[in-house]
Amino acid sequence: MTVTTTNDWSNRFKELNDSNEELNAHGKYFSCSYLLDMETTKILVQTHGGKIEKITMDPGPLDPYQFAIRASQDTWSKFSMPTPPPMYHGIFAASFQRDMKLEGDLLVLMQNLRCLTTQLELLRVVGIPA
Amino acid sequence: MANAKISSVVGRYVSFDVEEEEYKVFYLENGTGQPLVCQHTAGCHNHQWRGLLEDEEITENYRVIAYDLPRHGKSDPPLNKEWWKEEYKLTADFFTKFIVAFCDALELENPIFMGSSFGGNVALQLALHYPDRFDAVIPVEGADYSPGFYLDWWQHPHANAAQVCASGVWDLMAPQSPDKERWATWFYYSQGAEAFKGDLYYYSVDHDLRGKLEQIQGDKVKVVMLTGSYDYLTPPEAGKRTASQIKNAEFIEMEGIGHFPMSENHEEFRKYLLQALSAIHGVKA
Domain encompassing residue B77: 10-284
pLDDT of B7 > 50? The answer is yes
Contact (CB<8Å) A97/B232: yes
Contact (CB<8Å) B172/A92: yes
Contact (CB<8Å) A92/B171: yes
- The CA distances from residue B221 to A66, B109, B142, B143, B149, in Å, are 52, 14, 16, 17, 29
Can you list the positions of beta strands (E) in chain B? 10-18, 21-30, 34-39, 62-67, 112-116, 136-140, 222-228, 250-254
- Residues A20 and A122: their CA atoms lie apart, in Å, by 9
Q: Is B3 domain-assigned? A: no
Non-local CB neighbours of A2 within 8 Å, separated by 6+ positions = A130
Quick check: A96 contacting B, CB < 8 Å?
A: yes
How many distinct structural domains can be found in chain B? 1
Q: Is B247 domain-assigned? A: yes
Percent of chain B at pLDDT > 90 equals 96
Q: Is B2 domain-assigned? A: no
| Closest to B55 measured CA to CA, from B35, B38, B31, B37 | B31
Taking only the tens place, the pLDDT of each residue in A2-18 is: 445 778 999 999 999 99
Residues in chain B: 285
Distance from CA of B119 to the nearest CA of A (A): 21
Q: To 10 degrees, what angle do helices A113-120 and B161-168 make? A: 30
Contact (CB<8Å) A86/B170: no
Can you list the positions of beta strands (E) in B121-257? 136-140, 222-228, 250-254
Q: Tell me the β-bridge partners of B72.
A: B75
Q: Tell me the β-bridge partners of A42.
A: A37
Taking only the tens place, the pLDDT of each residue in B183-192 is: 999 999 999 8
> DSSP letter at A85?
P
Distance from CA of B101 to the nearest CA of A (A): 36
Nearest CA in chain B to A121: B175
Quick check: B237 contacting A, CB < 8 Å?
A: no
**Cβ contacts of A66 on chain B, cutoff 8 Å:** none
Q: Is B5 domain-assigned? A: no
Taking only the tens place, the pLDDT of each residue in B79-129 is: 999 999 999 999 999 999 999 999 999 999 999 999 999 999 999 999 999
Amino acid sitting at position B202: Y
- Residues B55 and B116: their CA atoms lie apart, in Å, by 18
Quick check: B248 contacting A, CB < 8 Å?
A: no
Quick check: A92 contacting B, CB < 8 Å?
A: yes
pLDDT of B172 > 90? The answer is yes
Most A-contacting residue of B154, B156, B170, B231 (CB-CB within 10 A), to test interface:
B170
Quick check: A25 contacting B, CB < 8 Å?
A: no
pLDDT of residue A6: 78
Q: Is B48 domain-assigned? A: yes
Q: Is B196 domain-assigned? A: yes
Distance from CA of B268 to the nearest CA of A (A): 16
Which of B153, B164, B171 is facing A93, going by the closest CB pair?
B171
Percent of chain A at pLDDT > 70 equals 96
List the Cα angle B129/B132/B134 in 5-degree steps: 90
- What is the CA B198 to chain-centroid distance, rounded? 15
CB B95 within 8 A of CB B122: yes
- The CA distances from residue B181 to A51, A78, B164, B273, in Å, are 27, 24, 19, 18
Taking residues B16-45, report their average pLDDT. Answer: 98
Contact (CB<8Å) A117/B170: yes
The CATH number covering residue B72 comes to 3.40.50.1820
pLDDT of residue B2: 79
Non-local CB neighbours of A68 within 8 Å, separated by 6+ positions = A34, A35, A36, A37, A101, A102, A103, A104
Nearest CA in chain A to B187: A114
- What is the CA B48 to chain-centroid distance, rounded? 9
Domains in chain A: ranges and CATH:
6-125 (3.30.1050.10)
CB B79 within 8 A of CB B23: yes
Non-local CB neighbours of A83 within 8 Å, separated by 6+ positions = B175, B176
**Cβ contacts of B235 on chain A, cutoff 8 Å:** 86-87, 97
